[in-house]
Homo-oligomer: A and B are copies of this chain.
């Protein structure tokens, strides 16, 4: 791991981010070739590498008819237009391959209406506007990023009759309140006034036309009319300089305090503009969207190091390749690390001095930005093979958000291997701390078992790990270096998904010297080696017990009384959790005993299979039929407020207002049984294998 070179990562990043490489663009295809070339290099390549191409439905703005946002005066003349492109601040924003800001998968159309301000565009936000007596029918809603997913803003808006949606990034949310050009990039890491966050507004993930089927050319494709999950109304993102022109001229009552931002004026709700502002009071906003859906080829690149002893056990490491513009941070920081890791391991391999016990698979996914498409299609195409053989999936998307600390999201069994790895690697920056010791200063929790430890976050669906954990039930993790939250409140690094996410941005502001990149590479590399080369798999299944216990306690404390009122007992869940705890502990003891002797490889393989496959036992493809790909009964999306098993939490929050005996309460009971069955089944997989 000492050979992982910060300078080489920097050079990788320079090359990867030299040009915009939007999914399926010519430059994206060039990078496919670059990856293949690197992974087939006779000196530093892997055993084999191949590109797998899918034909997927992407969404692009029209090149002939740009999307526009105009203010239209009472006589129908355009009195103001928002910017169509970001300002060419560094000479990189003006290139022909910089795609105009847009909301991918938003439908085309040109609604026009009075402007209202709708905060984050949550369901509650629109209800608040209604409560304020504002007629939403036919309006254009200006919303700011945050609070809910991109697509949800349009979905919520449409429910209230809103005709079009604008989305901007408030300087309060991204720039710690700063907004002037002198305070923003290239003078700081903050977002320039013209910066616009692009993004996918699709509700699900995977190719929209081929749910559950790989998007190979012959696959059945839905009729466009049958696709669900696209935003229902035209939607367009804008920069905060344009948002200021709109929002600071609004009429109407004051927006609530929590809705105020940092545009330098008092935010009002509308509808329409104030008479003493820049636009006449009866001016309307016109949002013209000309996005087009196109079937495009997008490739994953896979490279493999064949395991010496157990080639049928895969340690998967991946990141996406496609960006919105230059994507120096997102995703090229991760790809730069990926290439350096594969170079170091490939070099060892080609020298003939090393080959891991298990196979290592490197992946460069396509079209992640449109909804994790490449990785999802891969899991659909090779479902059984991957589910049967994959030890763990490691995702490094944005490798470095900032250079303060490591941040890991993952399922409990990976905690121990991450801890072991990070304790042995020096943290970048001043002092002589390990990555672990630095990490624990920023993210920590008190574990009943271990005392104070770094806290792992849980996996949502923010990057390519989603199909692996939710659809396949493979133990997964996502690794990055990130912020000191005491120093910034930015939602995410400020130039996220804009044309300002460039090499110089990283080199000057995010990680000068690339030591955080190197720290991520070393961490990931150490984890890969431990997972692929240890005799016993370093997955500690008993670490699931803490999670289950905390879910159980939350259910007891926050739902127990309510459930009792409806004659639903948590007793079977208590029993199931206890059984899991006991079996996981006993398995741990059997492994410890074996480690003291010299167990035969077949014995270890059997135990390792129990460790590897535990995560699968939490899958139930029938648990959440309406939630595409979400089969993991512990990590499915939780909408209910109680931090417990998601199916239980969500069902309770839906049943809460209904009478005993309702369908909603039956669903609570069903969800409880699904969890109990999964936990009992999981415990059964951990028992000695010849026990009944």
Contact = CB atoms under 8 A, between A and B. Distances in A.
Contact of A388 (B304, B672, B685): B685
A692 B219 contact: no
A220 B309 CA distance: 45
Given A48-B692, A605-B605, A677-B381, A670 B220 contact: yes
A213 B302 contact: no
Contacts of A388: 609, 613, 616, 685
A677 B380 contact: yes
A309 B216 CA distance: 42
Contact of A384 (B50, B613, B621): B613
A570 to B, nearest CB: 10
A218 interface: yes
Interface in A655-672: 666, 669-670, 672
A690 B307 contact: yes
Given A388-B609, A613-B388, A220 B359 contact: no
A47 to B, nearest CB: 7
Contacts of A310: 602, 606
A676 B218 contact: yes
Contacts of A672: 220
A2 interface: no
A610 B389 CA distance: 10
A449 interface: no
A689 interface: yes
Nearest to A618: B384
Contacts of A602: 309-310, 601-602, 605
Contact of A680 (B302, B312, B381): B381
A625 to B, nearest CB: 8
Contact of A673 (B213, B306, B606): B213
Interface residues of A, number: 63
A513 interface: no
A209 to B, nearest CB: 11
A212 interface: yes
A427 to B, nearest CB: 35
A681 B384 CA distance: 7
Interface in A278-316: 302, 304, 306-307, 309-312
Contacts of A617: 384-385
A609 B606 CA distance: 12
Nearest to A52: B692
Nearest to A661: B223
Contacts of A673: 213, 218-220
A283 to B, nearest CB: 45
A161 interface: no
B47 A311 contact: no
Contact of A220 (B213, B302, B666): B666
A674 interface: yes
Interface string A364-403: 0000000000000000111111001100000000000000
Nearest to A50: B692
A599 to B, nearest CB: 13
Contacts of A674: 213
A410 B345 CA distance: 47
A626 to B, nearest CB: 12
A212 B621 CA distance: 11
A228 to B, nearest CB: 15
A459 B677 CA distance: 28
Nearest to A604: B602
Nearest to A217: B572
Given A218-B572, A312-B606, A304 B385 contact: no
Nearest to A610: B312
B381 A302 contact: no
Contacts of A572: 216, 218
A569 interface: yes
A214 B676 CA distance: 10
A224 B672 CA distance: 19
A330 to B, nearest CB: 27
A444 B409 CA distance: 59
A569 B389 CA distance: 33
A31 interface: no
A684 interface: yes
Interface string A596-616: 000011100110011001001
A571 interface: yes
A622 interface: yes
A684 B383 CA distance: 10
A669 B219 CA distance: 8
Contact of A306 (B609, B680, B685, B690): B690
Interface in A202-243: 212-214, 216, 218-220, 223
Contact of A606 (B212, B311, B610, B684): B311
Contacts of A218: 569, 571-572, 673, 676
A685 B621 CA distance: 21
A389 B306 CA distance: 25
25 contacts: A47-B690, A49-B692, A212-B622, A213-B670, A216-B572, A218-B569, A218-B571, A218-B673, A219-B673, A220-B673, A302-B692, A304-B690, A304-B691, A306-B690, A310-B606, A311-B606, A311-B688, A359-B689, A381-B680, A382-B684, A385-B684, A385-B685, A601-B602, A605-B605, A621-B621
